[in-house]
Amino acid sequence: MAKQVQLKAKARTETGRGPMKKLRSSGVVPGVVYGPKTKALSVTVDLDELGEVLVHATGGNVLVDLAVEEGGTTVNRLALIQEVQHHPYKDEVLHVDFREVSATEKMRTKVSVHPVGEPSGVKNGGGMLEFVLRELTVECLPKDLPDVIEINVEKLEIGESINVGSLTPPAGVTFIEPKDRAVFTVAAPMAEEVAAVAEAVPGEPEVIGEKKVEGEEGEVAAEGKPAAGKAEAGKAEAKPAAGAAPAKGAAPAAGAKPAAAAKPEAKKK
């Protein structure tokens, strides 16, 4: 079962980035306590005390007896550490969320699953154990909340799975996922999968050494072969040299500029 730990907290009124930065520099972590029947309360907790709680937690769920000091009085509130926000690249806790629960009412939360033993399909057949689900949603009283859910996988062969319906939940715990939902499965060896794909879809050999060139009409042709649309040798129409006058009676080419008129030769004095 999830271990219940003691943790002290103080109500706070400070908000905003600047005040939060000052709180963290003083060795405390800002947080909030909320629940379905209570108003959200902003609090602070000691960084070292919170670190001790998190280090000794064996599972993802930590049940806390939170002693909240507010206005000179202390009120104990049973809560789960719902989320701990860390700095993206510094070893620094930025914020912590506590979800208040009732000791006499069932709650829903997620619990991590851990495989126990080595599957036969992995040990004897070279298969691979795959996690289909890493957490299971459970419903239970806070006192019955498990740290983790351990599942024996030793009998699994290649291609076999363990479904939610085949599991025996801990006392007082109900699994919420559909019974046919797989939790673990043993896959075939990767080499066999690759070979099966290669046989099903054989690849075509690639021709190496044939250089590709761009044809005049924007099409690609093999080196040494005329590009599509290109005139064959000996049949290409000869183009007049630059500046040469067109043949007598022949119309000038489309878009061609008329040749400049020859200047009369200057008379000798």
Position 241 in a domain = no
Q: What is the pLDDT of residue 238?
A: 44
Look at residue 39 and tell me if it is in a domain: yes
Instruction: Please calculate the CA angle 228-233-237 and round it to the nearest 5 degrees.
Output: 90
Residue 221 is assigned to a structural domain of this protein: no
Helices (H) then strands (E): counts for the chain: 4, 15
Whether residue 179 sits in one domain with residue 127? yes
In terms of domains, do 10 and 95 share one? Answer: yes
Rounded to whole angstroms, what are the CA distances from 230 to 214, 234, 256? 12, 12, 22
Q: What integer is the mean pLDDT of 69-89?
A: 90
Average pLDDT rounded to a whole number, residues 20-46: 91
Domain span at residue 181? 108-199
Q: How many domains does the chain have?
A: 2
Half-sphere exposure of 184 (CA within 13 A, CB side): 27
Q: How far apart are CA 28 and CA 92, in angstroms?
A: 11
Based on the domain organization, do 26 and 91 belong to the same domain? yes
Q: For position 33, which CATH number holds?
A: 2.40.240.10
- pLDDT tens digit sequence for 162-186: 999 999 999 999 999 999 999 999 9
Calculate mean pLDDT across residues 74-101: 91
Strands 161-163 and 174-175: unpaired
Same domain, 123 and 191: yes
48 lies in the same domain as 11: yes
